[in-house]
Amino acid sequence: MPSIATDIDCWVPDSFPIASTGEGVLTGKAVAVKDLVDYAGHKVSFGIARWRDTHEASKETAPILTQLLEAGGSIAGFTKLDQLAYSLIGNVCEGTPPLNSLYPDRFTGGSSSGPAAAVAAGLADIGLGTDTAGSIRVPAASCGLFGLRPTHGAISVSGVRPWAPSFDVVGVLTANPTLIGPAFSVLSSAPVPTGSDVQEVRVPTRASVSLVGDDTVDSMYSIADALSAAYKCQVIQCDLSEFINQDIGDLFARLQGREIWSGHSRWVSENKGYLADDVRTRLERAERLSMSSDEEKAEDKAARERYRKSFQRFYNASSILVLPVLTDLAPLRTSSADELLEFRTKSFQLTAPSSFTGCPQLVVPVRNESASKVIGVGLLSQHNNEATLLRAATLLTGVKDLLASRV
């Protein structure tokens, strides 16, 4: 494993490696940790130096780090993230945004930008991050990695900075799909179950994901066809337009914003001048949303429950739902503010199914030879059915030239 490098710009200024404390399924594997997880004696940055300056060092180590170290994993270092984990782009952090080794002219996606950059560059085997609205899935798709957002609550968030707790999960990024299962098993403190037999593969119709580019849709269908062949089952096309649209993206933003303001209003109010413009703008909206009437808040919560219940008709324990994660590639590092806002807005819509339902989603990197691209595609299953997704990824790696897998 290479030593901590500076040209990838993925490490926080006071990053340091930590040796493993035991042996197990992660022996010899190095982990890049998003710098919002407690390690005794270390001051987390939460993506912004001002947070570090206004908080004391952690008194205890988060259980998930202890578990990784006891299972033989070492910590390569603590990585950058977007300010307060409040971006899907990877553009606002301490210093220079991390480098996307797959597409150096593009951002890594966020907010788990540092772990994604480290894994994509080969500086770590596993990236440990968090996902609220796509912060594991978007970097995975942007950097050509496998990324697991597990079932909400499957991995302890003790010692992890909260953002919007009803959506927050801890997740993992890897370049090698065979590492996701062991990492998840260690982090969840439970063996990965066998999983369900897949009897159908479901995929949205082109019309119902009209915001997505043709290359991404083609890659999505390639994955669906490959899974159909592997499991000897049919592909069913579904109209998901009522679940992936601007209104749903706005609903998520409202629910998330209120939770954020509830948990962080005091610090944000006292430190707005230290925030990037776009982060500050979103937090000011969160403040306004916190002032919504009780009726408006209740209606949004009810809408979330209706979404979760209605979405159930599109899949069951024997289904895999194949979904786009991004409209195309990550934004260019030269993108305008309007272009970055459009990327964020559309990504919110595409990540909504897993975010709203709390169901696990695994991103797999697909080689689109005709477009000369690597495009991330998401596989969604029922709650606590991670094993089915991991098994599907293993089967897909056996399809020649389909996945950008580094086994």
Reported as a single tens digit per residue, the pLDDT across 305-322 is: 999 999 988 888 899 999
Query: Is 22 domain-assigned?
Result: no
Which of the listed residues 257, 279, 303 is the one where a domain comes to its end?
Answer: 303
pLDDT tens, residue by residue, 27-36: 999 999 999 9
Residue 19 vs residue 314, higher pLDDT: 19
Same-domain check for residues 299 and 386: no
Which of the listed residues 270, 303, 336 is the one where a domain comes to its end?
Answer: 303
Same-domain check for residues 34 and 96: yes
pLDDT tens, residue by residue, 354-372: 999 999 999 999 999 989 9
Q: How confident is the model at residue 258 (pLDDT cuts 50, 70, 90)?
A: very high
Average pLDDT over the chain, rounded to whole? 95
Same-domain check for residues 250 and 237: no
Q: What is the 3-state secondary structure (H, E, C) of the chain?
A: CCCCCCCCCCECCCCCCECCCCCCCCCCCEEEEECCECCCCCCCCCCCHHHHHCCCCCCCCCHHHHHHHHCCCEEEEEECCCHHHCCCCCCCCCCCCCCCCCCCCECCCCCCHHHHHHHHCCCCCEEEEEECCCCCHHHHHHHCCEEEECCCCCCCCCCECCCCCCCCEEEEEECCHHHHHHHHHHHHCCCCCCCCCCCEEEEECCHHHCCCCHHHHHHHHHHHHHHHHHHCCEEEEECCCCCCCHHHHHHHHHHHHHHHHHHHHHHHHHHHHHCCHHHHHHHHHHHHHHCCCHHHHHHHHHHHHHHHHHHHHHCCCCEEEEEECCCCCCCECCCCHHHHHHHHHHHHHHHHHHHHHCCCEEEEEEEECCCCEEEEEEEECCCCCHHHHHHHHHHHHCCCCCECCCC
Query: Is 87 domain-assigned?
Result: yes
Which of the listed residues 284, 303, 322 is the one where a domain comes to its end?
Answer: 303
So what's the pLDDT on residue 193?
66
Query: Is 143 domain-assigned?
Result: yes
Query: Is 11 domain-assigned?
Result: no
* Residues of the domain holding 273: 246-303
So what's the pLDDT on residue 405?
75
pTM of this structure: 0.96
Same-domain check for residues 101 and 149: yes
So what's the pLDDT on residue 262?
97
Query: Is 219 domain-assigned?
Result: yes
So what's the pLDDT on residue 278?
95
Same-domain check for residues 364 and 262: no
* CATH number, domain with residue 130: 3.90.1300.10
Same-domain check for residues 152 and 205: no
Same-domain check for residues 158 and 207: no
Same-domain check for residues 136 and 217: no
Residue 144 vs residue 400, higher pLDDT: 144
Residue 4 has pLDDT above 60, yes or no: no
Structural domain tally of the chain? 3
Residue 407 has pLDDT above 70, yes or no: no
Q: How confident is the model at residue 96 (pLDDT cuts 50, 70, 90)?
A: very high
Q: Give the percent of the chain with pLDDT over 70.
A: 96
Query: Is 404 domain-assigned?
Result: no
Same-domain check for residues 258 and 205: no
Query: Is 228 domain-assigned?
Result: yes
Q: How confident is the model at residue 192 (pLDDT cuts 50, 70, 90)?
A: low
